[in-house]
Chains A and B, each alone.
Chain A
Amino acid sequence: MISLTINGKKRKLDMDPNTPLLWVLRDKLHMTGTKLGCGMALCGACTVHMNGSPVRSCSLPISAAEGAKIETIEGINSPAFQAVQQAWRELDVVQCGYCQSGQIMSATALLQTNKNPTDADIDTAMSGNLCRCATYHRIRGAIHQAADKLGGKA
């Protein structure tokens, strides 16, 4: 039995402890905003927050999340997330959109720790998230815009 908190709700999971967190979210809890892309922590489509830090849920066995606080795109609501989401919408960042939950979770994590990231900071923080539509140019712009909006209060 593994206990963890997902989007503020305590969960007890009686499952194979090797099950990746991604499949608990998707197949058991039907939270499908977090996506499968590669299954090897190479693309970032499955990014969620564990204790506030971005992790790749496709490669994180639930046994490694015992007692952790998990936040997904469905539950996160920090000021940084709100600013990121708003900027994403104002700049119409999305194209196919499939990777964007992961992009937004990584961008939120960045702004929660770095109030005023440079392009280089953004490239470093976001380089684990692939976007085949190559919305990268707008992602950079949206993160700057969200940082401006937060005005250093992230």
Chain B
Amino acid sequence: MNFLKRQTIQAQQNSRSSALSRRTFLQAVSAGGGLLLGSGFLIGSASVAAADKSIAAASTTAADAPVFNAFLKITPDSKVTMIVKHLDMGQGVSTGLTSLVAEELDASWEQMQWEFAPADNHRYNNLFWGPTQGTGGSSSIANSWMQLREAGAAARAMLVAAAAAEWKVPAEEIRVSNGIISHGTRSSNFGAFAAKASLLPVPQKPAVKDPKDFQLIGKTIPRKDSNEKTSGKAIYTQDIQLPGMLTALVAYPPQVFGKVKKVNAAKAKASPGVVAVVEFPRGVAVVAENFWAAKKARELLKIEWDLSACETRSSDELFKACHDAASKTGISVKNAGDAIAALAKAKQVIEAKYELPYVTHAAIEPINCVVKVEKNSCELWFACQMPTIDQQQVAAATGIKPEHVKINTLYAGGSFGRRACPSDYVVDAANIAKQIPGRAVKMLWTREDEILNARYRPMAVHHIRGAVSSRGKVVAWQHHAVAQAILRGTPFEGFIQGEVDGTVAEGIEDMHYTIPNLQVQATEIPIKVSTLWWRSVGHSGNAFVVETFIDQLAKAANKDPVVFRRKLLADTPRALGVLNLAAEKSAWGNSLPEGVARGIAVHKSFGTWVAQVAEVRVKDDGSFKVERVVCAVDCGVAVNPDVIRAQMEGGIGMGLSAALGEAITLKKGVVEQSNFHNYPLLRIDAMPKVEVHIVPSAEMPSGVGEPGLPPIAGAVANALFAATGKPLTKLPLGNKV
């Protein structure tokens, strides 16, 4: 979702009216009132109230101001609770964000705990997104970096000031280390001063540490969520238990954009344990005392669907439509030099046509949401990825004021983008629950519901022509990317800048290679299938296209792929840095065992550079196995090296899964996949050994949740290209060459 970031930054630079329209567009609302927190002293709570007032006075800047005072509370037992404004879906933000506060507070890691923030678009907004609270675009650490360090530093200064007053000594002489405040022979824990400190004014620009003094940042510290996630105690949406809670299963139309024509629910209603059968705009819900009762009753529903607005084409027809579009002129998104003229003059032109399929998120926790609607209020429990947008949409669906829609965020059992989706499952759950007021309703999707109602990474077609000089440089690159837009027709459509959705050609128009004649065109193709950002969004497929085409050009130039890239990356030191590190650590150039080949790919996404070298064993029968991946990453300051390694490992595994075997296909408009037997995910036996190397850096930290994914498909395909001499231009690759 880097376009959100781009849009926000641009909006910040634009006029006041632009910022206001963005605000109106998002219909962002203030949760207002007090914080919905547990007991403990919220540091600087008086200032939070003051900030609320200034925002209520319609300031256009206050919403983007750091509200560091809303991020931690300290209880008399010296437990420090960090308020986490982002969703932890496995990427480790509960650990990472907490460590930023703990670092500047000089707390011990053991005394730190955390909880998810409530929905609040000016206190807990994503600073890259304006007044919107949400998680995505690998932005959690990056947008919070100074905000949370300052929050920790401010709280530390207030504790010190309270201790100085009590002990009657100068504040400058007080030391804080590992959760202990001390002066000479006197010492105290945080708890003893928490109450007094919380009443002091909040320093507006507290001094933060020199990075050389970091005790936690850059160190390997344990994750905060390991214990509960290894004992079955972590609570996900699926696990919520509330008094009188009911379970809802939905009969959705067999195709998205289908509608209910006629329902006969008599048998379902009579089924044991069924409380109600309710219709809502997207389907029919069976609400029952438990899952099994709901599931059995759902099978008894008789529904006629109106599918007149649904897609009717099959995947091969859709690819043909994409190729037809790609062979025509598209919308120019980048035009440097004159690629057409340079290609006309070239001795040899390399051409390639790519096909990338729809893929789906398939988090192991299927989509779910718990909602309880009362007369004038509503409460939700779920893994909420865009709290203030979901709050607004639930308000619209139920007629309840947004400030009376309370969201309790829980761990996500994976998301990969799926839970950041307006007008979708959360609204469905609210539409069901409002018909059974006063009862909590847990809407569950089965795996089949989830794959049917998935929002896929768009399918895409790319046509490329390129040429190299006799000295081994790329002289021209002409590229036409065709894909379905992600944002078109959604509440986020206003984020599309220019004529074409930026996700179609991201990672291509801004590729880091120096190419004098580069023409990139993009075309949106309308298909009646729901799409969404899938981990790393457009980069997920576009990196494969660019990196494999680079290897085709390298071969045409008779150059080694690493040597070839080095020349093209001479002006991009951080790209060169990861390229060289991955090459060095993989012993690029050294001989490999018989039957093993290497491939490399380098890609930047979300501000982070990643290079990966894949070692692939190809057997005589053409079957192959990825045995080892060496990964180099430059994400600026490495806040938590072990979490970075984990995210690279995970990105490689998920990217490899898609590269090898994932595809959603349509037959006459109907999705052909339904569960893991026909939508296979990577299993442990196909997982390579992974080595991750982090480039030391003092740059601002950038994200790691997504950037590990884009290079792997290209690295594997390039290894296979090296082994067979046959370029690969279609995903998934399958298990044979």
Contacts and interface: CB of A to CB of B under 8 A. Distances in A.
Contacts of A85: 230-231
B60 interface: no
Contact of A97 (B90, B292, B682): B90
A31 B28 CA distance: 38
A21 B417 CA distance: 31
Contact of A101 (B232, B652, B656, B683): B232
A104 B291 contact: no
A136 B225 contact: no
A20 B292 contact: yes
Contacts of A123: 684-685
Contact of A134 (B222, B291, B654, B676): B654
A43 B241 contact: no
Contact of A132 (B92, B226, B227, B654): B654
A92 B222 contact: yes
A139 B225 CA distance: 16
Given A23-B292, A35-B365, A94 B414 contact: no
Contacts of B656: 134
Interface string A128-146: 0111111111111000000
B291 A23 contact: yes
A34 B232 CA distance: 7
B89 A96 contact: yes
Interface in B565-600: none
B649 A138 contact: yes
A30 interface: yes
Nearest to A34: B232
A95 interface: yes
A26 interface: yes
Contacts of A31: 232
Contacts of B698: none
B675 interface: yes
Interface in B404-438: 411-416
B413 A35 contact: yes
Contacts of A88: 226, 230
A118 interface: no
A7 B231 CA distance: 14
Given A95-B92, A96-B89, A139-B684, A40 B677 contact: yes
Interface string A32-59: 1111111110110100000000000000
B657 interface: yes
A135 B685 contact: no
A30 B446 CA distance: 19
Contact of A89 (B227, B290, B415, B688): B227
A74 B447 CA distance: 25
B254 interface: no
A39 B685 contact: no
Contacts of A134: 649-654, 656-657, 682, 687
B232 A95 contact: no
Nearest to B223: A92
Interface in B442-460: 444, 446-448
A90 to B, nearest CB: 8
B230 A45 contact: no
A65 B651 CA distance: 39
Interface string B627-662: 000000000000000100010011111101100000
A23 B290 contact: yes
A80 B110 CA distance: 27
Contacts of B364: 35, 37, 43, 45, 96, 98-99, 130-132
A92 B646 contact: yes
Contacts of A23: 290-292
B260 interface: no
Given A27-B290, A35-B364, A92-B646, A133 B90 contact: yes
B366 interface: yes
B527 interface: no
A33 B238 contact: no
Contacts of A94: 90, 223, 225-226, 229-230
Contacts, number: 175
A19 interface: yes
A132 B652 contact: no
Contacts of B684: 122-123, 126-127, 129, 131, 136, 139-140
Nearest to A42: B676
Interface in B351-367: 362-366
A98 B685 contact: no
Contacts of A137: 649, 653, 687-690
Contacts of B447: 37-40, 43
Interface in B265-297: 290-292
Nearest to B296: A16
Interface in B181-237: 222-223, 225-236
A20 B116 CA distance: 33
A93 B677 CA distance: 26
Contacts of B688: 137
B139 interface: no
B316 interface: no
A42 B653 contact: no
A97 B225 contact: yes
Contacts of A138: 646, 649
A52 to B, nearest CB: 19
Nearest to B91: A95
Contacts of B510: none
A100 interface: yes
Contact of A95 (B446, B646, B682): B646
B234 A97 contact: yes
A116 interface: no
Nearest to B451: A38
Contacts of A36: 238, 291, 366, 444, 446
Contacts of A122: 684
B317 to A, nearest CB: 30
B43 to A, nearest CB: 29
A139 B646 CA distance: 12
Contacts of B690: 137
Given A38-B675, A42-B675, A92-B646, A132 B685 contact: no
B681 interface: yes
B226 A96 contact: no
B239 interface: yes
A47 B356 CA distance: 34
With a 10 A CB-CB cut-off, give which of B223, B233, B364, B366 has the most chain A CB atoms.
B364
Contacts of B241: 30, 32
B721 to A, nearest CB: 24
Interface of A: 16, 19-20, 23, 26-28, 30-40, 42-43, 45, 72-74, 85, 88-89, 92-101, 104, 122-124, 126-127, 129-140
5 contacts: A20-B292, A92-B642, A97-B234, A123-B684, A133-B653
Given A38-B447, A88-B230, A93-B230, 11 more contacts: A30-B241, A35-B413, A36-B444, A37-B366, A92-B222, A96-B90, A123-B684, A127-B685, A133-B414, A135-B653, A140-B684
- 8 closest pairs, A vs B, by CB? A33-B232, A134-B653, A98-B413, A96-B90, A97-B229, A95-B90, A73-B232, A32-B239
